Amino acid sequence: MSDCIFCAILEGSLPASIVHRDDTCLAFMDIHPLSRGHVLIIPREHAMQITELPEPTVQHLFTVAHRILGAQRALGWGLEGSHILLNDGPRANQMVPHAHVHITPREKRDGLGMLGRLGLHVTGLFGRAEKRERLEDQARALQHQLAESSPCSAG
């Protein structure tokens, strides 16, 4: 879909700090992260809502989410908790009309900062983007951890 930012990332016409890629999905760092290590997982097939995707695709998205969550924790991110979030449709504050899963590590004492950033996300005002260098560093760290846990499927 030509006006979808996530489809543009999939096509390579917009930059992204890639964590994982395969034939079904792409995982990359959120450019407006709620916390360190915030990753988005998107299906390669354009669908606005998760129910528009075939069940095996949905299962794969959550399998990848599980692996990324493990990689984040191996790096010490979100040891005390994480959000695995799917905003499914505009009424659920889905800002990009392409199904996607957020994996957002939480840290001690991140409540007020997280609440402020979340408030911006909900209103559609995302603020300044994270520096690409920082996102690339986090993506490389996650790629390394994914390769350590399963060398054949990291990407």
The alpha carbon torsion through 88, 90, 94, 96 (nearest 10 deg) reads 110
Does residue 155 lie within any of the structural domains?
Answer: no
Which percentage of the chain shows pLDDT scores above 70? 83
Task: Round the average pLDDT of the chain to a whole number and report it.
Answer: 88
152 pLDDT above the threshold of 80: no
The total number of structural domains in the chain stands at 1
pTM (two decimals): 0.87
Residue 153 covered by a domain: no
Catalytic residues: 100
Q: How far apart are CA 135 and CA 28, in angstroms?
A: 9
Q: Is residue 154 a part of any domain in this protein?
A: no
108/55 Cα distance (integer angstroms): 35
Q: What percent of the chain has pLDDT over 90?
A: 68
